[in-house]
Amino acid sequence: MPELPEVEVTRLSLSDRIEGGVVRQAILGKALRWPLGVDPQGLVGLTVGRIQRRGKYLWLPLLPSGGLLLHLGMSGSLSFDEGPLKDWPAAGPHDHFDLQTSRGLLRLHDPRRFGAVIWGESMHTGLVGQLLARLGVEPLSPGWTPTLLRQGLAGRRVAIKQALLAGDVVVGVGNIYASEALFRAGIHPETVADRVGPKRCERLVVAVQEVLSQAVAAGGSTLRDFRNAHGQQGHFQLSSMVYDRAGEPCRVCQTPIRKVVQGQRSTYFCPTCQRR
């Protein structure tokens, strides 16, 4: 599933190329998780603004007002073709939204159709506002501190890995990067969240920020079919310390990496380096 680094990589690979484009046509394929919420013809003539990210969502402003909220779901990706109109490829069976602009073709490819494209008058109203209002603090922002993390974990009796994935304490720390950050912080993923004290919260904030920043620099992770808007794969998974390495030796202590299932998601950890 595309996580925060993959979404940020997508934003970076799109932003300068599509900004300023005028919408010429919007075409819907098969239904996605939510309806578009506007007549596609109503988007024609609007101008694309500076694309933004909030958690795992992208906000594509369409000026003079409103915009599209995009989510890549479980297996989605966005591509952008700057070639001439005559060379644009025909939509395939898993291409479910095309935004044709004066600067190129933006296309959502989503084999499992868990993604979304939703019109909103702003990021704060309607369904768009409801979805974004549920999200916690951005982990790469200066506003996320060990104190704020500690406050968010207070009273939570779930495992720390589950608390990170919930998205209301901190947003966008998905499965891959939660496992990696907990390893770097030396915290067992099954540790009860409200037992993670101030010092471990300090280590965890630093670890999350380092892991996410390094993943963005590596182009994200491509486990199956993620590509950025240039069609390039990510490479962070090649340097993972624990994720998808069950049975292999820990890169620090040589203890075999273990795998458990938490909330139907695979968790990887080192039983020696990570303590409860």
Q: Which residues, at least 6 apart from 241, have a Cβ–Cβ distance to it below 8 Å?
A: 180, 183, 184, 250, 251, 252
Phi-psi region of 99 (alpha: psi -120 to 50; beta: other; left: phi over 0): beta
**Chain segment 114-161, per-residue pLDDT in tens:** 899 999 999 999 999 999 999 999 999 999 999 999 999 999 999 999
| CATH, domain 4-133, list 3.40.50.11740, 3.10.20.30, 3.20.20.70, 3.20.190.10 | 3.20.190.10
* Residues with catalytic function: 2-3, 56, 265
Distance CA 124, CA 37 (A): 15
Helix H or strand E segment including 57: strand 57-63
Global pTM reads: 0.89
> Residue ranges of the domains in the chain?
4-133, 146-269
CATH of domain 146-269: 1.10.8.50
pLDDT for the residue 123: 96
pLDDT for the residue 227: 54
User: Which residue, chain included where needed, has tokens 């013809």?
Assistant: 41
Dihedral over Cα of 174, 74, 97, 66: its sign: negative
pLDDT for the residue 3: 85
Asked if residues 13 and 230 have their Cβ atoms less than 8 Å apart, the reply is yes
